[in-house]
Structure formats: structure tokens, C-alpha cells
A and B are shown apart, each in its own frame.
Chain A
Amino acid sequence: MTNHWRDIKNADLILINGANPAEAHPVGFQWFMHAKLDPTKGPGRGGGAKIIHCDPRFSRTSAVADIYVRIRTGTDVAYFGGLINYVLQHNLQHATYVAHYTNASFVVKEGYGFHDGLFSGYDPATRTYNPASWAYEKGPDGFALRDMSLQHPRCVFQLLKAHYARYTPEVVSEITGIPVEDFLKIAAVVGEMGRPDKVMTIVYAVGLTHHTTGSQLIRSGAVLQLLLGNMGRPGGGMNAERGHANIQGNTDHAISWEILPGYLAVPLPGDDTIDAYIAKHAPKKLDPHAWNFFGTNYKKFLVSLLKAWYGDHATPANDFAYAYLPKPEGNCSWLSIYDAALRGKMEGIILSGMTATSIGPDSNQVLQALARLKWLVVMDAFPTTSSEFWHAPGMDPTAVQTEVFLLPTTHWIEKDGSFTNSGRWVQWKEQVLPPQGQARHDHWILADLLHRVRDLYQREGGAFADPVLKLTLDYKDPLHPTLDELAQEINGKDLTTGKRLATFAKLKDDGTTSAGDWIYTGSYPEKGNLAKRRNGVQDPAANDPTGMGFYPEWAWSWPLNRRVMYNRASADLDGRPWDPKRPGIVWNGERWVGDVPDYPPTMSPHDPNAWLPFIMTGEGVGRLFSNSLLDGPLPEHYEPMESPIVNPLHPAVSASPVAFLYDRAAGRLDRFGTPDEYPIVATTYRLTEHEHYVTMQIPRLVQLQPEPFVEMPAGLARERGIANGDWVRVRSKRGMIEVRALVTNRAGQLDLGGKKVWQVGIPIHWGFIGVAAEKHPDRAQHWLANALTPFVGDANARTPEFKSFLVQIEKVS
């Protein structure tokens, strides 16, 4: 989240797309209700914030929303694009903000273009773009040219306007299925949010990310928020609701394949030295008034990370052990790993805290991939669909060559440590129960494994052993490091004094500081672990002095305990809040006060050298147009890989032209279905009663949702002679499930420019393991929802397209 959960109470309008917070985040959802019940909030004259839930299904979030509108899954770029067009056509954007706080004024190079569904620079042979033409025109000083009148035909503002002029309400309706008049009702309310005294938040989750166009779906919402001047403001922002309690912490500490801790890039082949790596990956300063904080300090963050990992073995003489970092040639995303396994190129896989069989797309193909490994290690508190895959119903154990190890691990309730929530709050928790049986902490198992691998290298030698042998393990007991020690290491210290640092501003690139993750520097300074702080609602007057819900001494929020990111943009050019009732930071004549400023604390807005508001970007402003993604500088609607219609905007380029097609690349047959065989649009989702797959082991939760089902429209059920509660077979090109029919108008029909299409929803939680599966062993073989989903992902992040695919449904006789 750019903002945080509690901050949602400050909003006038809450757009929810690709998310179901009432079910997935019921505790965080209280803040939506606070806004709704607060008569001082809301569009027009107030009376309570309004919630607009735009979703394929009418869910428990819709049940309390002011407006629910049904959208075809995977088409939110068209929805947001239509809203962007509406705002621009009616001149409803926040004009000052757009001119000064976004790159609207930046002039793009000649040669950039968008024709027939393709941006300039496309190579059909490799299905990739060369983004060279998506750059700014530069002046003799090397900085980007700007036209503050926003009239230059190649300035971002004009390009944006032209790009989205195609997204008329009629086109939006044809793509999304939202009737024109309903779309216009929403647009009118959203358009009001460009006023400085109004503010809107956009909340999203995996309903936006799980698409071949996932990154662009999110960007389309961010572009709308920049146009309305809502980024950086309390009650505004682009807010990702993260999955389980610590998925934000996972991302921060580089669980993702393309980043090191703190969102530094993973080096690529050819990045042979730190300087070459910095030259390629650090953002470049593009405006004389851009601080370019990230680009300027990139090297300090990397060197401090290497010092945390390699200690005394990282020296100026050996380029701080930079050579020890892997420089992977190929893509290492989840899909790529299982594709490699399928091709017989993987020796083994260690699963920690996840079950590949259930979470991956096209689970029949994943099961084959697991069966081709030499070994599989599952670290989990319970048996999972992965630890038991080799004797799952339908599998022939004699055909599985994989040796499977199940290492019992502790559950989070059996250890201390921190959770980082969606709002970037790092909150420490205590151990509630001692570990049971032989369960060990995941990090102790890994420490043990590392020591054994080291012993082997030491005894037997091997190629390039140094990256393993020279790792520093500065813990009291290196086989059993405590999470407190790890938290201190992540925070980092001044190596000359040995004292822990209070801010990443003190990090250096000369090897005298360390930080395991620079964005967490300051979470555990000399005065103690700030994630343990609990000064909250027991005394709101003292603990929340601004009344904006920042609660600066409740836990700690990265970066630097800042509660709302980009908060310089919450104030106008003179440092006054856009809305005096909802200040983020305010210039008091001497310094910025309020939230922890995302800006030099004493830099006057009237300083002729004052930095632009978005200090992390090379431009110094928010990017309406960006060359940082692989699939285009402006979000464009592409159909899901499996779609009931051809893209009305550009039929020749219907789906993403750059999504990587694994089956095709590996010489396997395509596993995509066509709408004549599979006419029904399907999406997957989670229920409030369960958490992913683990709660299949919890009887009280299984009581609440005991069996899998497909939520299907009453009209479709009538058409197919299906009654509520019947067992039905749902088939896609890749597999099938046999589940109950839950017949309801909460799922419905879409009118796509005259073509009527049914849309259904399938919860993901069930499989052949758990309380329910034990009760129905005969049926549970066909309960993996991901048997249906396609093995293809987002062009950038490679996040699978779990949320849009085609199926056929029939009654099981």
C-alpha cells in the first residue's frame, strides 16, 4: 500500500477492483466502515464515504457497498481507461497537481507510437519490445524537455489524452460488460474526486495482479489517481491488499525472483562490476529539480547489503564480493521453475510455506513436473498436497521418480518475529505456543542445511565455493539464529562503531556500513526494536496528535516510519495541504510537520532549489507514462489469453503480445481453449472462512465451508438443467473439477456489445488433503481449482493468469 489500512477512514470514495476486502481482510475492512459511517466524508455534501465495488462476483464486500457493478474478469484496464478518458474529456483532473507533480509536461521522443494494438519497438519474432523509443526527448543539459503548458503534441499529457480517447463509455461497455449508463454513474462520482477538497482511494488485490496484463491493470489505477491528484494524500493512494499476514514482508525481503532485498535489481549477465550494475539499474536523474534519491543511493544500499551478507570478506579490493551474487541468465519466476522441471531440467525443489500442487496454475502439469524431480523437500506444519502428491488419487506412485521429504516445521504461532502488513507496518509478535513434536523453525532447517553444504565443500571442494563458504553468520549460535538477531542484521549498523543505524541516510558505499534490507534500516536502532511499540488507541490524543490515524509510535512502518508514501504530494506548491481537514505533511515555515516527511525535513517549498515531490523517481514526479515495464509505457487493454471475444480495440492483437508462452517455447502443445468449446468465463477466488489451503486442516473452519463449489448464475443453471446443490463437472482445456453448483444471481451474465456471456466463480481452497477430503476420498481427487487455470503469466512479473479463463459446465449424472 502507498497508504495503510487505518488511513482508509480518511477517504470520500473507495474504489475496490480485483479485491474482496470484506472476505479477505475482514479486520482491515473496519476502516472502510469507519469511512462509510462518518458523515463528514463522502462525495457531494458528505453523509458518509461511498464504496464502489467493481468485480466479477457480488461478494460479501458488495453486500455492504453503495454500488456493486459486475465486470468481466481481466478488463479493468478498460474500466480505469474509461474513467481516465472521462476525467480528461470533462477536464476534471487536478490541474496544478498534474502539471507540477506528474510527468504530464515531459516531452516524449519522436518515434514513439501506438498503432493497431502495438507500441513502437515490437519484435514479433521474440514477442518482446525494445523500449528505446519510450523515452523522453532530452535537452543539451541531458535532462528531459518539459512543456509546462501541456500543449506540446508529444508531451505525456497529450499522448495520454489521445491514447485514452478510444476508451469511450460504449467501448468500455463492450469490453467490460458494464452498461453505458451504469458506467457513467460511476464516472460522475469518480470525476468529482479531482477536487482538492475530495479524496479517493483505490484498493486492489490479486484480482488485478493474476492476469497476463496484471502490472498494467495496476498502473491504470495509479494513472487515474495521479490525474485526480490523489497520490501521496491521506485517504488516497493505490493500495494493494496483500495476501497472508506477512506477504509484504516476503516481498520486501526479496521472495520475488527479480529483486534483491529492498527492491534492488537482481544482477544480469554482463553486469560484471558494481559500477556496471549501477549504470544499468539505478534510476537516472531526468530533471534538474529531481532528487533521484533511489538512483543516487543505489550503490550505498547494495554495498551495505553485501557487507551484511559477506562481512569481512566484502572489501573494496574485491568489489565488495559482488562477484558472489548470482547473475541468472534465464527467467526464474515460479512458472519458469516448474516449466524447467517439466522439461526435466530441475534436480530438486525445496518448498517452504507453500504447496506447489495447489497454488500453481494447471495443476495436472505441475503434478507431472513434480514427478520428474529427483527429490522434493516440503517444509510445513501439516502434510500438504505437495508432500503427498506421489500417492494422490489418480497418481501412479511407481511412475513417480521423486524422493519426497517432509520436514515438520513450526507454525507462526510457535515462533516470534515480525509480520509486515499491507500498510508496511512491521509488527513484532511473541511466541504463543512452544513447538510441538519434532517441528523446527524454517530458518533453523535452512541454517542446518547451509552448514552441511559448507562441510561438504570444505571436505570435497567444488566449483566456485566462495559464495557459500564466505557468507557471514554473525549469530550467537549460527545453527540456531534468533529472529531478533536477524532483525538487527536487517536493520544494519555502522561497522566502525558497531552501533545500529537509525536511518538509511547514514548508509555508505565504502564498506563501513551494513544493512540486510535498507528499507528496514531504522526499525531496530540502538534504542530497541521499534516493531514492538504499542502506543495506540488507549490514548488517541497523545498517540495520534494529528488525528489522521498515523499513530507514529505503534510498531514501525517502512520507510523511516512514514505512514503515507509520497506525502510531499499531499501539500500544494507552497507546502499547504490540498485539503486543510486532511493534512499529510505541512510546511510550518521552518520544517515539515505531520507524518514523517517523504522529503528533506527542512527544505522550504520556496527554496529555488527545492526538490520535486516524488523523490524516488528520476523525473521527480509521478509517472503517467513509464518505460519501466516490458509491455508498454501506457496501460492498454488486452484480452486474457482465453477470452470469449476478440479485442474490440485491435482485433489483430487481441491478447498481450508479450506474455511468455511456455508450452509453445518448450515445444509442448498449446493448452488454451476456445470460446466455442469453452463458452463460459471463469475466475477463481478465496473465501473468508479459509486461508489458502492450510485451513482445510481446521475443523471449525471446515464446518463453515465444508465442500467446494462453483458459484454459477441462476440463468445458466436453468439453461443447463442444474439445480442448487447438484454436483457438476467444470472443464477447461487443461483439466476438470467436480464440485457442487451454488446457484445464485450473485454471479451473472455479461452483455459484451450484444454477445451474451455467462461468468462463474470457483473458490480455490480444496484439494485431496484435509478434513473434507478425508470424508470424501472418492470426490476429492477432482477438487484442485487450479486444474482449470492456464500456465501463462503477466508479461513483467510472470504472475499466473489465475483469474481469467474459459470453462464448460455440465451436470454430473
Chain B
Amino acid sequence: MFTDTSICIGCKACEVACKEWNQLPGNEPEYRNDSFDNTGELDAQNWRHVKFIDRVPEAPMTTGNGQAWLLMSDICKHCQHASCMEVCPTNAIIRTEFDTVYIQPDVCNGCRDCIAACPYGAIGFNPKDGLAHKCTFCYDRLQANMPPACAKACPTQSITFGPLRELHKKADERVATLRAQGYDQAQLYGRDASVYGGLNAFFLLMAEPEVYGLPNARNAVLPRRNNRGGYLGVLVSAALAMVAGIVALRRRGSDTLQDTTPGEGS
């Protein structure tokens, strides 16, 4: 699956098609003060979510082309190296015959480790059934040789579905065209192995990944390795804290109390 944000019109047809096909009732309507986004995030009810990142300048004339009001239809990336699979204790999360990442509802025990592990916030918890849910890549449609509902519904071909090799070629051409037109920040995200071994749902972005709230290649590391670093960090912190505590104890009494400024929220 290839999502080209430079031609996304933010119509949310993907969101609605996803809910219709997968019979997701959606959340209570809530106005979110966030541009035209009232969905908020990927969760158990929203497996597609269009982000609206408003960077429109005040000027009377502006270039659009997907880089002033950044519209990005987000989805589970179906990572080659999937953090959720790494941490799932019951092996509920499997890789399917289509190379997608799928949560088996009958095996999921609702521990939510995958929700914590996913760097994209793609998984949500449904309190009604007590299970974790996310995009299935329309597993049932794929089995019937149909494209996922979001790709089918997308009116501008911003979301396209097909063999990865073909999509990679198409994406390479599109990004080359955009760069030739002077859009220096146009880039592919997840096209190669630099993030999580490559993403089966990859993107053409019109700005750095961080602008869209996506980890860049430096930050995209699996939880296992992350944890090793984390454990190390904890050990170092603990050692430093001990030293600091000793220092503080030795200094006690010799210091005068400094004026404290109340915090803004107090």
C-alpha cells in the first residue's frame, strides 16, 4: 500500500470506508479543536486517520501541493520488523500470507503490550471486548482478491494498493518529479529498510517525518533493542542518583532555600 500525501485531499473517504467495511461504529462525536481533524488518532475504532497539519502561511498567495496544509491518511504500517509482534506474549500477532501484520482476536489476551510497543500508535484497546484492535489490511478482502476498503474508496489515487515492487517504482517516479519541481523535502517513508525493515504501508511525505509525528530512521528501533538501551540507561541513572543523593546529604544544611516560582498551572 502506497499513500501519496502530495495528492491527498483530506476527504476522509478512507476513514468512512474502513468503518463501513469493518463494521466499526466509531467513537462518540467530539469536536477536537484541531483543524478539520475530529478523529484524533488511530485506535480500536479508527484504523485509518487523516492527519491535518496546518502550516499555511499568512501570505495572500501560497503554493499548495501538499506542503502547506499537510494532509496525511495514516494507517498501521504493517512493518517488516513489527514492534507489536516483538512484544506480544501470546503470539496473537502474526504475519499473514500477504506479509501483513494481523492480530488474531481469538488469541489476543488484551494485555496491551502491543499498544505500548507500537511506535505509530496504530493499535487501540476496545473496552467492550477487552482486546487490542488495529487495521487488518482488510484481511478478508485480500483473501477474496479485493483491495483494502480505503484504497478502493480513495478518489484521488492518493492511496494505491498493489504488488510492492510496482508501488515502489511508482513512488520513486513521483518523488523524482516532485523533487525536480523544487519540493526538496518530498521523500519516501518506509520505502526502504531504514525504518522497521521497511513498511508494507509506506508513504510519500512532503516534509520530514517528525512533522507528521512519525519516527525518523534514527529513532525507529525495535522495542527489544530499545529496552536494552533503556535498561542500561536505568542502571546509569540509578548510579548517578545514588551519587547525587550522597552529595545532597553531605550538603544538607549548608544551603539556603531558594525562592520557588509557582508553576503556570498551579
Binding site for B on A (CB under 8 A): 22-23, 26-27, 29-30, 33, 36-37, 39, 47-48, 51, 53, 58, 60-70, 177-179, 182, 185, 687-689, 699-707, 709, 713-715, 724-725, 740, 742, 744-746, 748-751, 771-772, 775
Contacts of A724 in B (CB 8 A): 33
Residues 4-18 of B at the A interface (beta carbon under 8 Å): 6-13, 15-16
- 20 contacts across the A-B interface (CB closer than 8 A): A22-B9, A22-B156, A26-B156, A33-B157, A39-B177, A53-B64, A63-B69, A65-B65, A66-B65, A182-B61, A688-B11, A699-B26, A700-B20, A700-B26, A703-B27, A703-B39, A704-B16, A725-B31, A746-B69, A771-B29
Instruction: Report Cα–Cα, A709/B174, bound state, in Å.
Output: 36
Given known A703-B27, A703-B39, contact A70–B60 (CB-CB < 8 A): yes
Instruction: Say yes or no for B62: interface residue by CB 8 A criterion.
Output: yes
Contact of A30 with B157 in the complex, beta carbons under 8 Å: yes
Cα of A62 to Cα of B10 in the assembled complex, Å: 11
Minimum distance in angstroms from A625 CB to a CB of chain B: 32
- Contact B16–A700 (Cβ < 8 Å): yes
Given contact pairs A26-B13, A64-B7, A68-B62, enumerate 18 new A-B contacts (beta carbons under 8 Å): A22-B9, A33-B157, A47-B180, A60-B71, A65-B64, A67-B61, A68-B63, A69-B62, A177-B60, A185-B61, A699-B25, A703-B27, A703-B38, A704-B39, A709-B31, A713-B58, A715-B58, A745-B58
Known contacts A23-B9, A60-B9; is-contact A748 B54 (Cβ 8 Å): no
Cβ contact within 8 Å between B7 and A703: no
Question: With A and B bound together, what is the CA distance between A702 and B35 in angstroms?
Answer: 16
Q: How far is the CB of A66 from chain B (nearest CB, A)?
A: 6
Cα(A748)–Cα(B58), bound, Å: 7
The interface residues of chain A lying within 8 Å CB-to-CB of B11 are 22-23, 26, 60, 688
In the complex, which residue of chain B has the Cβ closest to the Cβ of A746? B56
Do A64 and B64 touch (CB < 8 A)?
yes
B-side contacts of A27, CB under 8 Å:
155
In this assembly, does B57 line the interface, its C-beta being within 8 Å of a C-beta of chain A? yes
- Given the complex, which residues of A lie within 8 Å of B6, measured CB to CB? 64
Q: Give the distance in Å from the alpha carbon of A687 to the alpha carbon of B12 in the complex.
A: 11
B168 is an interface residue with CB less than 8 A from chain A:
no
Nearest chain B CB to A812's CB is how many angstroms away? 15
Given A22-B9, A61-B9, A179-B61, verify A704-B15 contact (CB < 8 Å). Answer: yes
- B57 touching A64, Cβ below 8 Å: no
B7 engages A748 (CB within 8 Å): no
* A709 to B35 alpha-carbon distance, docked (Å): 11
- By secondary structure, the A interface counts as mixed
- Closest A-chain residue to B180, C-beta based? A47
Residue of B nearest to A748 (CB): B58
B260: Cβ under 8 A from any A Cβ = no
Q: Top 9 closest A-B pairs, CB basis? A: A725-B33, A706-B29, A22-B9, A65-B64, A182-B61, A707-B31, A26-B11, A63-B69, A26-B155
Q: Kindly state the separation between the CA atoms of A37 and B173 in the bound complex, as whole angstroms.
A: 11
Q: Is the CB of B35 within 8 A of A744?
A: yes
Q: A58, B29: Cβ atoms under 8 Å?
A: no
The answer for the CA separation of A772 and B8 in the assembled complex, in Å, is 28
Total interface residues on B, using CB and 8 Å?
45
Interface residues of B (CB under 8 A from A): 6-13, 15-16, 19-20, 25-31, 33, 35-36, 38-39, 54, 56-58, 60-66, 68-69, 71, 155-157, 174, 177, 180-181
Of the candidates B16, B62, B64, B156, which one forms a contact with A30 in the assembled complex, judged by CB atoms under 8 Å apart? B156
A705 touches B36 (CB 8 A): yes
Contact of B16 among A65, A69, A177, A701 (CB under 8 A): A701
Given the interface contacts A68-B64, A746-B56, does A29 sit within 8 Å of B155 by beta carbon?
Answer: yes
Q: Which residues of B contact A748 (CB under 8 A)?
A: 58, 60
| Given A703-B29, A704-B38, A715-B58: A63 and B12 interface contact (C-beta under 8 Å) | no
A179 and B60 form a contact (CB under 8 A) = yes
Which residue of B16, B62, B68 has the most chain A CB atoms within 10 A of its CB atom?
B62
Taking CB atoms, residues of chain B closer than 8 Å to A750 are 60
Rounded to whole Å, the gap between the CB of A302 and the closest CB of chain B is 41
Docked CA distance A780–B180 (Å): 50
B65 adjacent to A702 (CB under 8 Å): no
Residue from the set B13, B30, B38, B60 with the largest chain A CB neighbour count within 10 Å = B60
Residues of A with C-beta under 8 A to B12: 688-689, 704
Distance A772 CA – B28 CA, assembled complex (angstroms): 11
In contact, A706 and B31 (Cβ under 8 angstroms): yes
Closest residue of chain B to A689 (Cβ to Cβ) is: B12
The interface centre, meaning the residue of B16, B65, B66, B157 with most chain A CB atoms within 10 A of its CB, is: B65
Q: Specify the chain B residue showing the minimal Cβ separation from A61.
A: B9
B19 neighbours in A (Cβ, 8 Å): 700
Please give the distance in Å from A744's CB to the nearest CB on chain B.
Answer: 6
Q: Known: A704-B39, A744-B56. Is A68-B10 also a contact (CB below 8 A)? A: no
- Nearest-neighbour CB distance to chain B for A27, whole angstroms, equals 5
* Residue from B11, B12, B54 whose CB has the most chain A CB atoms within 10 Å: B11
Contacts of B13 in A (CB 8 A): 26
Instruction: State whether B38 touches A66 (Cβ < 8 A).
Output: no
Q: Which residue of B lies closest to A687 (CB)?
A: B36
Q: Which residue of B lies closest to A62 (CB)?
A: B64
Contacts of A69 in B (CB 8 A): 60-62
Minimum CB–CB distance from B20 to chain A (whole Å) comes to: 7
Q: Which residues of B contact A687 (CB under 8 A)?
A: 36
CB distance from A773 to the nearest CB of B (A): 12
Q: A63-B69, A706-B30 known; A70 and B9 CB under 8 Å?
A: no
Closest to B15 in A: A704
* Also in contact, A63 and B35, with CB within 8 A (given A30-B155, A39-B177): no
Considering the chains assembled together, what is the distance between the CA atoms of A64 and B68 in angstroms?
9
Residues of B within 8 A of A39 (CB): 177
In the complex, residue of chain B having the shortest beta-carbon distance to the beta carbon of A704: B12
Question: A residues within 8 A CB of B38?
Answer: 703-706
Q: Which residues of B contact A740 (CB under 8 A)?
A: 31, 33
Determine which residue in A53, A707, A750 has the highest number of CB atoms from chain B within 10 A of its CB, and name it.
Answer: A707
**From B16, which residue of chain A is reached at the shortest CB distance?**
A700
Contacting residues, chain B, for A70 (C-beta < 8 A): 60-61
CB atoms of A67 and B63 under 8 A apart: yes
| Contact A63 B58, CB 8 Å, known A702-B29, A706-B31 | no
Chain A residue nearest to B19 (CB atoms) is A700
| Given the contacts A703-B39, A705-B36, A63 and B10 also touching, CB distance less than 8 Å | yes
In angstroms, Cα B15 to Cα A689, docked, is 11
Contacts of A58 in B (CB 8 A): 56, 62, 64, 68-69
Contact B9 A29 (CB under 8 A): yes
Nearest to A177 among chain B residues (CB) is: B60
Q: How far is the CB of B125 from chain A (nearest CB, A)?
A: 19
